Amino acid sequence: MLEASDPFSEQQIRVPGRVHRVVRPSYVKERRIICDSLKFGWCVLQGGAILLRTRPDAVITTGPALAVPVSLVAKLLGVRIFFIETGSRIHRLSATGRIMRYLADLFFVQWEDLLPAAPRRARFAGRLF
């Protein structure tokens, strides 16, 4: 799934297949609680509809915007969740990472220093490029 406002990511996809778009739940520069809450709910509904239609075996996400709402629905549907923390996080987990460490079935970090941040869940498998 891609954010509805992100045409760049779709251009980067090299494997042909269907692309699903959902609304972005929030923007860092535009924090409005009511609007963000409504968008979060809409993203949950859109993501849930896509997950129910496609019935994936797993969701692989790096976050940040779509990871939490889509993963919440996936978890309720019994879909496995794999989260990869961004490589830019070296010393602390991102806000999304702090939430996803509890939702994800597999939680990957790209720096060994982050392993203590999620002791039971985190796996270090090297850097992704």
Note the pLDDT tens digit of each residue in 41-93. Answer: 888 899 999 999 999 999 998 877 788 889 999 999 999 999 988 877 778 88
List the CATH number of the domain containing 99: 3.40.50.2000
Q: Which two tokens stand for residue 122?
A: 């985190």
129 in a structural domain: no
Residue 114's pLDDT band (cuts 50, 70, 90): confident
On the question of pLDDT at 129 being above 80, the answer is no
Looking at the structure of the chain, the number of domains it has is 1
**pTM (2 d.p.):** 0.78
Residues 11-24: what's their mean pLDDT? 80
66 in a structural domain: yes
43 in a structural domain: yes
Residue 20 identity (one-letter amino acid):
H
* Parent domain of 47: 2-124
58 in a structural domain: yes
Alpha helix positions (H), the chain: 7-12, 33-54, 67-76, 95-103
67 in a structural domain: yes
Q: Contact 114/93 with Cβ under 8 angstroms?
A: yes
